[in-house]
Amino acid sequence: MMPEDGVVVRMKGIVKRFPGVVANAGVDLEVRRGEVHALLGENGAGKTTLMNILYGIYHPDEGEIWVNGKRVTIRSPQDAIRLGIGMIHQQFRLVQTHTVVENIILGLKEAFFFPDRPARRRILELSEHYGMKIDPEARIWQLSAGEQQRVEILKVLYRGANILILDEPTSMLTPAETHDLLRTLRRMAKQGQTVIFITHKLEEVIEVSDRVTVMRQGKVAATLNTSETNPRQLAQLMVGRDVLFRLEKKPIQPGEVVLDVSGLNVLNDKGLPAVCDLALQVRAGQILGVAGVSGNGQRELVEAIAGLRPVVGGRIAVNGRDVTRLLPRARIESGIGFVPGERWMALVPSMSVAENLILKNYVRSPIGRGIWLDRRAIAVYADALINQFAILTPDRHTPLKKLSGGNIQRALLAREMSEKPSLLIVAQPTSGLDVGATETIWQMLLAERERGTAILLISDDLKEVLSLSDRVAVIFEGQIMGEFLAEQADLEQISLMMAGALRLSDANVVGEAA
C-alpha cells in the first residue's frame, strides 16, 4: 500500500510502561512527508519515550509502527536508520577531541576503508544544501552548542535520514542560534525532509511547525494544524486547564543593598577562570536576574556566594558584612539561602521528605536540642511546611525521590524560604518542570520578593529571567556584559550580549531607581 495520504510515520496505540509510570498510554501519531511536526508537552508527558520507541531505543509494550506504509518492527537505532529515521538527542554525543568529519563518519563501515576526502565533500554539500555553516576540520571542543548541534544534524543526514527527530533542540541555544536552527528546519521541510520537533516551548511551535501533536500524561491531547491554533489553546491542551500567563508583580521600592559583590574572581573545576572581576548588587525586595548561555560562569558565581567554591579574588558582602572567607555553615547563618541549579546537590533523594526539610535548621532549636534531634518538633515543622507550601506527598515519611519534580523543587524552595534568608540565590528554578509547576514556583519567588528578600536569580531561560526580574544582568564568560531594568529589556541587545558581541559601557548602564 502506498501512503497516498502522504503519511510517512504512523504510530498506533503505542503503550510503554516503566516501573510505576505509564510513559505512553496508547499514543497515536501521524507524521506527513515534508512537514515540520511539533511534538509538544510538559516535562514527563512522554515525548522522549515515544520518539525513543520510533528510533528503536525502547520497544513498545503494545502498539504498531508503520513507516512509508509498511508495518515495521524497529529493534535498534541501526534499524531506524535503515528506515531513514535519524534522531538528535537532548544531550550531544560527540567526541570532543575529534574533528567534525571524524565525528560524522565515526562508526560507519566505509570510514574504515576510505580516507575522509569524499566524506568531507559530501558534508560540505549537505551543509550548503540546508544552509548550515560548518568547518569540517574544526574540533568539536572548539564549537559552540549551536555548531555542535549542526554536526549532530549533519551526522544524521549523512546517514541518509529523511525523517529527523530533534529532542528539545533549542534548550542549549542562544536566542540567535535558536532562530538559525528554526530557519534550517523550515528549509529542510521545504526540500522534502520530514522533521519531528520535540519541545515544550509554545512560541517555537507557532514559529516553525506545520502541525502539532500535544501530549499530556502519556496520551495525545490533540493534533492540530498550527495555523489554526494559538498559544493559549496549546497551553490549555498541554496542562489541561487555563494557565496564568501574566505574572502579578507588585511594584516594590527596593531597600538596602543586601548582596554586594565586587571584583570577584572564581575558578571552575578545571582550574580555569570562570568568573572574572565580576561586580553586582542586589537590594532587599528586588530580583536581579542573571541571563546567559549556560556555562558562562553562572554556576561558579552562585557557588562562590554560597561558600561552596573558593574565591580567588574580590569581596562578597551580605548586609554589609564581609562573608568572603566564611565556611558554608557560617554563610547560612549570615542569611544566605541557596537553591542550586543541580537540585540533587541540595537534597538527599533516598531520605524522607521531613529529613530533607530539616537539612538547614537541624542544628538549631526547636529541631536540634543539645546533641539530639527532637522528633516531635521535626514532625510539626515538616507538616507545617508541607501544608503551607502545598507539597504534594503521601506523608512526611515518604522518600523524597518518590515525589514529582515540581514537588521536589517546591520542597527545596520551602526549606530555603522558611529559613527567612535575607538573600535567596535561585538557579534554574524551573528547569525540567512543567507549566503548572513553573507557575507555582514563580508565585513562590514573587511572594518571597514581597517579603523583602533580595533574590539573585540565575536562569538559562531568558523568558523566566525577563518575567521575574526587576533588573537583568547578562553574563558572558564570567563577566557582566550589561545591566538594565527588566521593562527596558531589548531582546536583540540581550542576544548580542549573551553571545559576547555587545558590552554596555558603564556609562550606558541604566541607573538604579532608588
Residues that bind Mg ion (CB under 5 A): 48
Site membership for ligand ADP, residue 43 (CB under 6 A): yes
- 381: nearest Cα among 347, 430, 418: 418
Q: How far apart are CA 185 and CA 172, in angstroms?
A: 17
Which span sits near another protein by CB under 8 A: 34-42, 355-363, 420-428, 469-477?
Answer: 355-363
Shortest Cβ 360–another protein spacing (Å)? 6
For residue 427, how many C-alpha atoms fall within 13 Å in the half-sphere facing its CB?
21
| Residue 332 makes contact with another protein by CB under 8 A | yes
407 binds ligand ADP (CB under 6 A): no
The interface partner of residue 23, options being another protein, ligand ADP, Mg ion, none and the CB cut-off 5 to 8 Å by kind, is: ligand ADP
Binding mask 32-71 for another protein (x = CB under 8 A): ---------------------------x------------
Provide, for the chain, the percentages of residues in helix, strand and coil under a 3-state DSSP scheme, each rounded to the nearest 5: 35, 25, 35
Q: Which of residues 232-251 bind another protein (CB under 8 A)?
A: none
75 binding another protein? (CB under 8 A): yes
* Identified binder of ligand ADP from the candidate list 37, 47, 360, 415, rule CB under 6 A: 47
**Alpha-carbon distances, residue 185 vs 52, 169, 179, 213, 319 (angstroms):** 20, 11, 10, 17, 50
- Which residues are CB-neighbours of 443 under 8 A, at least 6 positions away? none
Question: What distance in Å separates the CA atoms of residue 244 and residue 263, rounded to the nearest whole number?
Answer: 40
Least distance (Å) between residue 364 CB and another protein: 10
For residue 18, state whether it binds ligand ADP (rule: CB under 6 A): yes
Asked whether position 60 contacts ligand ADP by CB under 6 A, the answer is no
Upstream peptide bond of 366 is cis (omega within 30 degrees of 0): yes
Output the smallest distance, CB 20 to ligand ADP, in A.
8
Q: Return the C-alpha cell found at 481.
A: 556584559
DSSP 96: T
Is residue 455 within a helix (H) or strand (E), and if so which, with residue range? strand 454-459
User: Does residue 420 interact with another protein by CB under 8 A?
Assistant: no
Among 27, 36, 45, 433, binds ligand ADP (CB under 6 A): 45
Q: Are the C-beta atoms of residues 267 and 312 closer than 8 Å to each other?
A: yes
The residue (of 48 and 281) whose beta carbon lies closer to Mg ion is 48
Amino acid in the structure at residue 348: V
> Is residue 375 close enough to count as binding another protein by CB under 8 A?
yes
- Considering CB distances under 5 to 8 angstroms, the limit depending on partner class, which of ligand ADP, Mg ion, another protein, none binds residue 211? none
DSSP three-state, residue 343: helix
* SS3 at position 284: coil
Q: Min. distance of Cβ 189 from another protein in angstroms?
A: 32
* DSSP E strand boundaries for 68-218: 70-72, 85-88, 163-167, 194-199, 211-216
**Smaller CB distance to another protein: residue 76 or 96?**
76
Please work out the total of residues on this chain that contact ligand ADP, with binding judged by CB under 6 A.
11
Q: Give the shortest CB-49-to-ligand ADP separation in angstroms.
A: 3
Residue 475 near residue 443 (C-beta atoms within 8 A): no
Buried b (16+ CB within 10 A) or exposed e, 319-354: beeebbebeeeebbebbbbbbbbebeebbeeeebbb
Confirm or reject binding of residue 429 to another protein (CB under 8 A).
Answer: no
Does 401 contact another protein by CB under 8 A? yes
Q: Interior CA angle at 274 toward 269 and 275, to 5°?
A: 135
Task: Determine the interface stretch with another protein among 1-9, 82-90, 343-351, 493-501 (rule: CB under 8 A).
Answer: 343-351
Out of 368, 432, 452, 500, the residue judged to bind another protein by CB under 8 A: 368
**Exposure of 91 by Cβ count < 10 A (0-12 exposed, 13-18 middle, 19+ buried)?**
exposed
Task: Identify what 44 binds: another protein, Mg ion, ligand ADP, none; CB under 5 to 8 Å per kind.
Answer: ligand ADP
In the complex, the smallest distance separating the C-beta of residue 41 from ligand ADP, rounded to whole angstroms, is: 5
Does residue number 213 form part of the binding site for ligand ADP (CB under 6 A)?
no
Query: Within positions 252 to 311, which residues make up the interface with another protein, using CB under 8 A?
Result: 306, 308
For 207-265, give the secondary structure using H, E and C. HHCCEEEEEECCEEEEEEEHHHCCHHHHHHHHHCCCCCCCCCCCCCCCCCEEEEEEEEE
Residue 46 engages ligand ADP in binding (rule: CB under 6 A): yes
Chain residues that interact with another protein, rule: CB under 8 A: 18-20, 59, 75-76, 78, 306, 308, 327-332, 338, 340, 344-351, 355, 358-360, 362-363, 368, 371-373, 375, 399, 401-402
